[in-house]
Each structure stands twice: as C-alpha cells, then as structure tokens.
Amino acid sequence: MLVEKYANEVETILAKYPADQKRSAVMPLLYLAQREGGYVTRQDMEDIAQVLEITPTDVASIVGFYTLYYEEPGGKFRLQVCNDLPCALRGADEFLEKLCENLGIKVGQTTPDGTVTVEAVMCLAGCDKAPLFQVQSGDGLKYHENQTVESALGVIEELKTRGTQS
C-alpha cells in the first residue's frame, strides 16, 4: 500500500496542510502514486481516498481533471512537445512530425520497445527556447530546450541506455 511504503513522505505531505483540510494533499499524493509506474492505479486512488477521508470517486475526478496524472500506463518516458503558437512559430510542429517519423510512430503512440511515448502538450513556458519538450517519468520531469530532431533522438538514446532521467 502506497501509504505504508512511503509513510514518511505521506506524513511530510500531510503536515503542509491544516489537520482538518487533508483533502489538499490529494495532488502531492497522486504524484507520489505515479512515481513508480508512471500512472495512478485504481488501488492507489482507493488508498489515497482512505488517507484523506474522501471517496475514490473524488480522487478519480482529480486524476481526470489534471493533465499530468495518468490512468493508463504509457511508455516508460513520456516525451511531451509543446506546439502552442509561440513554439509552432519556431518550428515545433515540423519538429514533432519529423521526430515521430524517425521513431516510426504517430503522435500519442509509444515506441515498440515501450520506452518512449511522444505527445503534444500545451504551453510549457519556454517559448523563447523552442522547439522544446519535457520528459516525464516516475522519477521526475525534465525540460529539454532548443532541440533539433537529432538532439532529441540523442536524448531518447540516452534515456534508453540509462533507463532513468534522474
């Protein structure tokens, strides 16, 4: 169970909020739940609900609302390219298309070895350093700015070799 496994961290998280406002801890607890598998399981939602004294449906509604929580497993690493207007003006659309072409997948798909899921996401607040993407995995979230298809493929190779980004 999540709460037993990360007892200290759960306690630290809960201590940030007033004792009678435990529900506030739902977002950090969901991040904790995602740390290993990269997504939130039904069991995690039930565990979190129990700790916070809310219903699993309440927890699921949070998972569904916020884009950084996942209900389904994806690739080990989610490579997320921003292609909002400022990034698109600096070639993010072409970058995303060519990157996917090189990987032999479509946007939203995962490489056959299960390593990388490539997705398009909304603004990452790095407009001046486009094309850019973030890599999300259980062990963190990291920006890669001023990218080319070649440099991005290099990042992917390294992720594959190291198996971790932290």
Partner 1 sequence: MSEHILLRHRDIPDLNQLEVYRKHGGFEAFRKAVRSMKPGEVTDVVKASGLRGRGGAGFPTGMKWSFLPKDNPKPRYLCVNADESEPGTYKDRVIIERDPHRLIEAIVVSCHAIRSQTAYVYIRGEFHEGARTLEAALAEARAKGYVGKNILGTGIDVEIHVHRGAGSYECGEETALIESLEGKRGQPRIRPPFPAVVGLYGCPTIVNNVETLVCVPLILERGGEWFANYGTEKNGGPKLYSISGHVKRPGSYEAPMGKVTLRELIFGPGYAQGIREGHMLKAVVPGGSSTPVLTADEIDVRMDFDGVAKAGSMLGSAGAIVMDDSTCMVWMAKNLTAFYKHESCGKCSPCREGTGWMLRLLTRIEDGEAGEKDLDLLWKVTDSIAGKTVCPFGDAAVAPPQSTLKKFRDEFLYHVREKQCWRKVASTFAIATARAGSGVSA
Q: Which residues bind partner 1 (CB under 8 A)?
A: 16-18, 21-28, 30-31, 52, 54, 61-62, 65-69, 83-86, 88-90, 121-130, 134, 140-143
Write down how long the chain is.
Answer: 166
* Smallest separation, CB 72 to partner 1 (Å): 16
DSSP-assigned beta bridge partners for residue 136: 78, 141
* Smallest separation, CB 88 to partner 1 (Å): 6
* Smallest separation, CB 125 to partner 1 (Å): 4
Pick the closer one to partner 1 by CB: 73 or 102. 73
CA distance 5 to 51: 13
Pick the closer one to partner 1 by CB: 65 or 104. 65
Pick the closer one to partner 1 by CB: 7 or 85. 85
* Smallest separation, CB 89 to partner 1 (Å): 4
Number of Cβ within 10 Å of residue 125's Cβ equals: 10
Residues 6+ apart with CB under 8 A from 56: 42, 45, 46, 49
Buried b (16+ CB within 10 A) or exposed e, 73-90: ebbbbbbbbbbeeebbeb
Q: What is the CA radius of gyration of the chain?
A: 18
* Smallest separation, CB 76 to partner 1 (Å): 17
Pick the closer one to partner 1 by CB: 72 or 122. 122
Pick the closer one to partner 1 by CB: 5 or 66. 66
Helices (H), 16-41: 26-37
Task: Map residue 6 onto helix, strand or coil.
Answer: coil
